Structure 1
Amino acid sequence: MMAGRTFGKKLAAGFGLTLLLTVVIAVTSVGALAYVVNSNNKVIATATDNLAGALRLQTTMEARISDYRAFLLNGQQQYLDLTNGDRTAFLSQVVGLRAQLTDQRARALLERVSTAEASHAALLTPVIERRKQIKFLTDIAQLNAKSVAPARQELQDSTAALVKRVGQIVDLDRAHASARATVAVIAIIVLGLLALGAGAWISWRLSRDLRREVGTAVGHIQSSSAQLEAAAAQQASGGRDQASAMSEITTTISELLITSRQIADSAQRVSKVAEETADAARSGDSTIDQTRTSITAIRTQVDQIVQHMLALGEKSQQIGGVVDLVSELAEQTNILAINATIEASGAGEWGRRFAVVAEEIRKLADRTAGSAKEIRALIEDVRGAVNTTVMATEIGAKAVDAGSRQFDDATNSFRRIAQLVTTTSDATREIELSTKQQTTAVEQVNVAASDTARVTRETEASAVQTKQTAAHLSTLSGDLLDLVGSGKH
């Protein structure tokens, strides 16, 4: 199998290499053709534009000379306008052609044309002005324009030289394009020859590897056939032993099936007891919650009692302050009554009446002071009782808090019990489910064991057939080796 896969990889590699060379040749051919086409297009476009520009420049120059001569003959303004228009077009064409030309010699010739045109135009200007003054054709001889002819000849010669140079450039570009096309064709031919050589080498290499690998594979097949024949004999012997072992396994599985069913019944009973325990724990948890609610209400009432007692203590203190004020007023009233009695004793008959009133006021002040002392004593008793009640209430509140914490602990304990019972119940259900699944699995294993015993018998029969097939395979491998020739080197 390894030899077949190796040859398959080599075949794929050879095909891939051949395909790669084909793609390279195709890409190179397309690139070369595109390069040649672009070069030719560039030569045709650029060179043609430059040559056409040079020819247009020459044509415009000749048209200007013709229009100038017509103006000299008839003196009409339209020919002068045509002459000026031709010069404007000529200058515009010079600017455009200067931007297109890249050859230095051609640019120098263009500058020569521009200089010659400027000199020619400078000589034409005074001649044109004198022609405007001449009314009769017989007076044209007075223009004396002999100096214009050399300038015109220089302009025509420089323009002709420029056209000739641009034509030479076009011929050179065409020659270069043809050379590039020739190089591209040679490159395509060389690549094609390389591809043919590579294909031939790959075919020879694959053929050699095929003979070698097939010969090696045939040797392995012959060796494997002998081993397969021996293994088939051992398999037939082992099949009989396996059939007797499967009979014992079937008996053991039947006993395991009975045990699994008993475990499932026990797990179901444990699950039922766990559910009852969980219900009892949840009921105890509910009772403790109700008791906690009652304790919370008692704590709230005790807190209210403490607040009322504290308020009562504050009121008794306020009353004590009022009693102190009353006692102080009684003492001052008593002092004033004594002073009034002393003053009344020196006032005669009128003073005695006032003394009686002062005495009554003093007695009232004494009774008021006595009542204030009694009220103060009662207030002190009330304060003592309030303090005692507050202390007792605080002790009761602490006892209520301790009881609440104990109930919290008991509640947590019941909840943990409920959780543990729930966990136990879940585990019991899982055990029950697992046991049922195990019972089902055991039944399936029992069926599989029966099938395995049947397959074992069939394997024993097929082992004999395998032995015969191995012998036939050894014969076929010899025929294959003869077919491919000497494959071992």
Structure 2
Amino acid sequence: MAGRTYGGKLAIGVAITVTLTLLTIVTSVIGLVFVVKAKDAAIASATDDLTGAENLSRMMEMRIADYRAFLLNKSTENADLTGADHESFRQLLSELSASIESPAAQAKLADIAALDDRHAAATAELMASRLQTDDIPTIDRLNDTKVVPIRKPLQQALADLIGMVRADVAADREASSTRATQAIALVIGLGVLTTISAVLVALRLSRDLKREVGTAVGHIQSSSAQLEAAAAQQVNGGRDQASAMSEITTTISELLITSRQIADTAQRVSKIAEETEAAARAGDATIDQTRTSIGTIRSQVDQIVQHMLALGEKSQQIGLVVDLVSELAEQTNILAINATIEASGAGEWGRRFAVVAEEIRKLADRTAASAKEIRALIEDVRGAVNTTVMATEIGAKAVDAGARKFDDATNSFREIVQLVATTNDATREIELSTKQQTTAVEQVNVAASDTARVSRETEASAVQTKQTAAHLSTLSSDLLEMVGTGRH
């Protein structure tokens, strides 16, 4: 930077600082975009894979339910539903295999496909046997020996798959968090580098300014010494000051009037400051009342959360009761079928009993269907309760934030009260100082008449003072050139 003006050096320093600042901003934006994209990709992949695994498990449960219904009443509709459920299960399995990238999850999907083939063959064989016979106990024994040993490992494999997908979701979330931490560290590093560079530029400019201006100030001090000597001679006299004394006297009179006006204004300001202090104290009391109201709202929000949690527990208890009712309905259906079979073997005497058994079976079917509807409603209620709890917790956090803001506002009002009190005291001091200034101005008016007597003695030193002032003006122009303003 040798040979440059101080303004040029300052422009270079500012350019360096601005460049580093822009680099920090651009890097921050790029890092944030990268982190946001990584988060979005992880969330989308996790949501699709986890949803697919859970849908696969639910489809298996529907398939088992339709298969059991076929075993009970040997209905063509249930047989068709069982086949359709199997096709939907295989389709979901294929889609999940195409989307999941984890080798362990792919291996588990292959195991599930193999178990499903075995399970489908066993259920098809048992359904064919059911079409040939109405012996329910025999069908139950065949189901327990051929289908159940395959179905349980298949259900366990589905549960293991869901666990693997959830583990992959957690790993993706942790990787995204690591990328975010790295981006934050990079931004902080660039910020520190920018700060260090700005400090170094400021120190360099400050050192150059002190060195260059110090030399000019030395010349100015030398010229000021000469000017002071000439001024000492001018104090002893001045021919031209005599004509100016009348103007000084007039100015002093105007200054006296102004001092009185300032004293009156200071009194009004003091009164306004007292009123402001009272208003600030009233505002402080109002904010205290508001803080108390916010505390009441916070306690009510906590009560709402507790009620929502209790509602969730009740819905779980209702779900358990519905499961029990569904199981009883299934058992009742089986008993009604057995009773119908026994009644048909009893001939004419068992016909009425067969009618009653058929009505009981229909009632059991309606009970099972109602239990399914109740279970779905309970799931909806549980989801709504969870959503309400989350929303209530967010509201509670907002209330806490508002309480903290009111605490800040309370502190600000208290500071305002202190500042207004300080202003009031300063206003009183200004009023007292103005009165003292009025007295001093009157004394200066008396001294002005004495100054006219010595004004004629300053004529001899006027020429020397003019020359010294011209030299000082030249040095000031050099100082302006040195800092690069270009003014004279």
TM bin (shorter chain): 0.3 to 0.5
Give the TM-score normalised by structure 1.
0.44
Structure number, greater radius of gyration? 1
